[in-house]
Amino acid sequence: MTKTICVVGLGYIGLPTAVMFANYGVKVHGVDVNQAAVESIQNKKLHIEENGLQERLNKAVDEGLLTASTTPVEADVFIVAVPSPINADHTANLAYVRQATASIVPFVKKGNLVILESTVPPKTVEDVMLPELRKTGLDVETDIHVAHSPERVIPGRIFEELIHNDRIVGGVTPQAAQMTKELYETFVEGTIHLTDATTAELVKVMENTYRDVNIAFANELAQIAEKLDVNIWEAIKLANYHPRVNVHFPGPGVGGHCIAVDPWFLVELGGEQAKIIHLSRTTNDGMPAFTAQKTQSLLNEAKIAGGTVAVLGLAFKGNVDDMRESPSTHVIRELQNLGLNVISYDPHITTNKHETQTQNLDEALTQADIIVVLTDHNEFKALEPKTLQARANIVFDTKNCLPRDKWQQAGFSHHLLGDAKNV
């Protein structure tokens, strides 16, 4: 059994990973540069939303198996789980990975295991982490052991997927891979597959790029369907009855810390060989503008000049508070560029994180000429349209999450993304 783990980065991946190990009896010290986040953890308060996290955090802290601070400590294992965003020019920003690795250098000892969990471009372990770790004066193949084991979870189901999903482990050496496998076997019930570090880096980016390309295909189909006056949601459902077809669904854009970011890593590395990937990214990044333009068209059809839009949902996906790369923020900007007023509401984001945000659903609805649903929260699915104090009678459901019959019966004109039918 591993004696101690130091987890650097206590965000959406690092904190659940830290409490998971702690709940399985491992002594864990968490590190984050955000002092407020550290203090929240010390006081058993959450700075992120995740199902089951509060109970697991309470247990870890109460049992004395999880501590937190802004500086690393000596440990047997170091896990780096920090963001790896993209710059404005769509190139990878690896400053957080480099800084996090540099922060543990004074504490790394012979025999330690260092694992990168962050999703990164291939060759990051080799080109970014190893040069920093060599500053320990230790050999990165014999004295210390380095591996990449990318997270494979989705917000809202992190703990279920941490346990049950298969995991990829890529070691700088076979010994590092084997040590990492044995570590994660502490709680992972899925199969752990071993490879080298660069292959593991590529695999994770491939997985998210596959989904991005499939979503781009669906978004193109949605735009074509509007010209054909076809409901693309029905068409995709029927197509997916084919045993070898799995078309994703369209949406107002792609968000989150992975799918909207990782494909750019391959575009940067692949250049002219990444044509399909690049086009898919461009297609998906164009959906907020398409969504805003359709909103404007629906207002024009209703002979409403200007107008106010009630945007329901700021998180990038349903039932989480995660706004990273959320298409909602881009849709709002595009709506404002068209001269429309916007008031937004999200039940999972309880402190205002956007200039248009209100904490009162009725306030948003009573001011609106059109309701635009951008996130499929359960709270929105459960709305009773007959009881809403809404000025608008137009709803544009970009996620196909509202029961169309119910909203029509309540007197609303209900519209979908990828469906030009006037209903």
Element (H, E) at 4: strand 4-8
- What gap in Å lies between CA 258 and CA 250, rounded to an integer? 17
β-partners of residue 194 are 169
Question: What tokens appear for 206 in the block?
Answer: 């491939």
**Does 381 qualify as catalytic in the annotation?**
no
Q: Pick the catalytic residue from 27, 204, 294, 399.
A: 204
Question: What tokens appear for 94 in the block?
Answer: 């690896």
As a whole number of Å, the end-to-end CA separation of the chain is: 62
DSSP classification of residue 127: I
**Does 6 qualify as catalytic in the annotation?**
no
- What gap in Å lies between CA 246 and CA 269, rounded to an integer? 28
- What gap in Å lies between CA 184 and CA 14, rounded to an integer? 14
Q: Pick the catalytic residue from 181, 258, 294, 399.
A: 258
Q: In 3D, which of 100, 87, 163 has the Cα closest to residue 132?
A: 100
What does residue 191 show for φ and ψ, rounded to 5 degrees? -75, 140
- What gap in Å lies between CA 98 and CA 166, rounded to an integer? 27
CA atoms within 13 A on the CB side of 39: 3
What does residue 68 show for φ and ψ, rounded to 5 degrees? -150, 145
Residues serving a catalytic function are 204, 258
